[in-house]
């Protein structure tokens, strides 16, 4: 049996485009004399469709798309993902389903059993879990079809409090009773740099446990903040990896089942991947797809001469093309000459159009207007924030006038502790680095400069500063980032308690201070733009905290 895996980039709700892509791959597979072609989870409508699933017309369009695809399912079998209706009176209205199509008919439907409801996932909100287990026979082979989480019953969870065994049933233990010859898994698994090997190990472990080959198809592309890296896998029955498909790109490959069953195909896998390179590629894809799927073309940002705006600009230029960017340099009386020079050099290195707009006159007019109201009060953070908000207003004016989407350049370290100004430097339609800790921003800069100096060296080596007052440095207000980021990672990603973090050797008063900053600035993050997710616990949809909570 020849099996093709089609790893595609779908667009949620774009049924015409998704259907066209699927049909094109089916026709290609037929020319290649493929017996079975497999697509990813909810491929018909795109993943995750969220509350669109509650619209009757959305489900009807899914059904129409399936019927259109069926017309091409002759002399070939096809597995696609789509929501299907639950015909029973009780339970949720829908199933998350894998449809086995051949001879112009839906021959078999396998519904998803394990519905993730954690982090960014909320599938139990929409779908009824499956409780029936069977296999499909095709061309003398028994196929066990699973959907994403159905092979993830054991979770390699980083949070020490959470349960590894999330579910009461293991679908493969039920399916193995039917003595299948292979396992096919259709998935929509987002990228996380903390789980690069974790996902592979899930399929390796299942192949070894059941002594069966595993074919897993993941989608690629970005859907707002979620970035899907592809990396579809074929695993031999002995747990060795037969092949891995492209990362962060569409791909199509054909496999001979007999070769996989007999472990004749093996691939050498890099066990020490360049994590920063993958974060870089994920962010480029995230920016590119957000603009493409929203039908945006042009972008802007405030180029300060600092490391965050520099890395953001390079990523945007790679994603959109430098000709589609126009940025502003917005110096004030506190901006250093080298910051302006560094920003100019970077823009010229990339071929990005830039304008210099001095904000001091605007800031002075604000301060002059408020002098009566603020009479007798000492200058401080308020006056610093006026500068940030003046910059935000000017950037939004350029955005409005020319239709350039403003990219937010704040990093995760700053967002975590509230080191940012609402309606100022927190403005933007999309946050490029909001899930990247400051230490990793520097690593990204080094990666960008791996072949030649694109980002000026001075931008990388100078002490970070918001330049809102004379001689200001980030370290005036925050611990050094190499310390701050380690504690933040333990508190946010690993969800450790104060006591657990202190047990690791950190000063208790320092940890208390950082935790208090994180907890007390939730209201700011609530108003932040969508953040491209590259970790296992990004701010936004995957981390839901009450704004008015008193708990610390």
* Residue-by-residue pLDDT tens, the chain, 552 positions: 999 999 999 999 999 999 999 999 999 999 999 999 999 999 999 999 999 999 999 999 999 999 999 999 999 999 999 999 998 878 999 999 999 999 999 999 999 999 999 889 999 999 999 999 999 999 999 999 999 999 986 555 555 555 456 677 899 999 999 999 999 999 999 999 988 878 899 999 999 999 999 999 999 999 999 999 999 999 999 999 999 999 999 999 999 999 999 999 988 777 677 999 999 999 999 999 999 999 999 999 999 999 999 999 999 999 999 999 999 999 988 877 788 999 999 999 999 999 999 999 999 999 999 999 999 999 999 999 999 999 999 999 999 999 999 999 999 999 999 999 999 999 999 999 999 999 999 999 999 999 999 999 999 999 887 666 777 777 777 899 999 999 999 999 999 999 999 999 999 999 999 999 999 999 999 999 999 999 999 999 888 888 888 766
What Å distances lie between residue 144 and 28, 205, 451, CA to CA? 25, 16, 47
Which alpha helices (H) appear in 403-535, and where do they start and end? 412-417, 438-448, 457-461, 481-492, 498-503, 508-520, 522-526
pTM value surpassing 0.75: yes
pLDDT recorded at residue 338: 83
pLDDT recorded at residue 274: 92
Rg of the chain in Å (alpha carbons): 26
pLDDT recorded at residue 175: 96
- Which are the catalytic amino acids? 41, 112, 148
CATH fold label, 278-472: Rossmann fold (3.40.50)
Query: In this structure, what token pair is assigned to residue 282?
Result: 């994920």
pLDDT recorded at residue 231: 95
pLDDT recorded at residue 197: 79
Name the segment(s) of the chain with CATH classification 3.60.110.10.
2-273
For CA atoms 179, 183, 188, 194, the dihedral sign is positive
Q: Are 351 and 313 in contact (CB under 8 A)?
A: no
Q: Are 266 and 241 in contact (CB under 8 A)?
A: yes
Q: Side-chain half-sphere of 291: how many Cα atoms within 13 Å? A: 25
pLDDT recorded at residue 165: 62
Look up tokens 């603020």; give the residue.
Answer: 374
Name the segment(s) of the chain with CATH classification 3.40.50.620.
278-472
Q: Are 141 and 181 in contact (CB under 8 A)?
A: yes
pLDDT recorded at residue 155: 53
For CA atoms 7, 12, 14, 19, the dihedral sign is positive
pLDDT recorded at residue 463: 85
Superfamily of domain 2-273 in the CATH hierarchy: Carbon-nitrogen hydrolase (3.60.110.10)
pLDDT recorded at residue 472: 74
């Amino acid at each position: 049996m020849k099996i093709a895996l089609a790893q595609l980039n779908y667009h949620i709700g774009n049924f015409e485009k998704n259907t066209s892509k699927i049909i094109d791959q089916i026709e290609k597979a037929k020319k290649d004399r493929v017996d079975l072609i497999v697509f990813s989870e909810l491929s018909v409508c795109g993943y995750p469709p969220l509350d669109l699933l509650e619209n009757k017309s959305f489900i009807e369009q899914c059904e129409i798309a399936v019927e259109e695809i069926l017309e091409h399912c002759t002399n070939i079998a096809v597995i696609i993902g789509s929501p299907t209706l639950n015909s029973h009176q009780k339970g949720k209205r829908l199933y998350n389903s894998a449809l086995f199509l051949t001879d112009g008919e839906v021959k078999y439907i396998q519904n998803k059993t394990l519905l993730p409801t954690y982090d960014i996932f909320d599938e139990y909100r929409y779908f009824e879990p499956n409780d029936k287990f069977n296999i499909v026979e095709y061309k003398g082979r028994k196929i066990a079809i699973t959907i994403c989480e159905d092979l993830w019953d054991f979770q390699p969870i980083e949070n020490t409090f959470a349960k590894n065994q999330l579910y009461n049933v293991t679908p493969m233990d039920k399916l193995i009773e039917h003595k299948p010859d292979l396992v096919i898994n259709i998935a929509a698994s987002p990228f996380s740099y903390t789980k690069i090997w974790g996902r592979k190990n899930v399929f390796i472990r299942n192949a070894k446990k059941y002594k069966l080959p595993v074919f897993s198809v993941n989608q690629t592309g970005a859907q707002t903040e979620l970035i899907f890296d592809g990396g579809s896998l074929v695993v031999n029955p002995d747990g060795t990896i037969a092949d891995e498909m492209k990362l962060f790109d569409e791909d199509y490959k054909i496999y001979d089942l007999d070769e996989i069953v007999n472990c004749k195909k093996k691939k050498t896998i890099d066990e020490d991947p360049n994590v920063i390179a993958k974060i870089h590629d994920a962010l480029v894809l995230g920016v590119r797809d957000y603009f493409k799927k929203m039908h945006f073309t042009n972008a802007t940002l405030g180029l300060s001469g600092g490391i965050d705006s520099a890395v953001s600009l390079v990523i945007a230029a790679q994603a959109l093309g430098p000709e589609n960017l126009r940025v502003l340099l917005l110096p004030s009386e506190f901006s250093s000459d080298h910051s302006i020079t560094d920003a100019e050099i970077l823009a010229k290195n990339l071929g990005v159009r830039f304008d210099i707009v001095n904000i001091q006159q605007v800031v002075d007019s604000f301060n002059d207007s408020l002098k009566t109201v603020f009479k007798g009060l000492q200058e401080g953070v308020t006056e610093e924030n006026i500068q940030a908000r003046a910059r935000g207003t000017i950037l939004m004016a350029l955005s409005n006038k020319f239709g350039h989407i403003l990219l937010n350049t704040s990093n995760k370290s700053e967002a975590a502790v509230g080191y940012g100004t609402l309606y100022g430097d927190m403005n933007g339609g999309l946050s490029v680095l909001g899930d990247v800790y400051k230490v990793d921003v520097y690593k990204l800069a080094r990666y960008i400069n791996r072949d030649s100096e694109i980002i000026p060296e001075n931008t990388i080596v100078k002490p970070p500063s918001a330049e809102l007052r004379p001689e200001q440095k980030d370290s005036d207000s925050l611990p050094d980032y190499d310390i701050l980021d380690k504690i933040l990672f333990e508190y946010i990603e690993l969800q450790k308690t104060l006591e657990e973090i202190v047990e690791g050797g950190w000063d208790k008063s320092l940890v208390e201070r950082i935790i208090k900053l994180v907890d007390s600035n939730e209201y700011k993050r609530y108003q932040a733009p969508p953040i491209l997710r590259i970790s296992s616990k990004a701010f936004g949809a995957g981390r839901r905290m009450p704004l008015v909570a008193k708990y610390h």
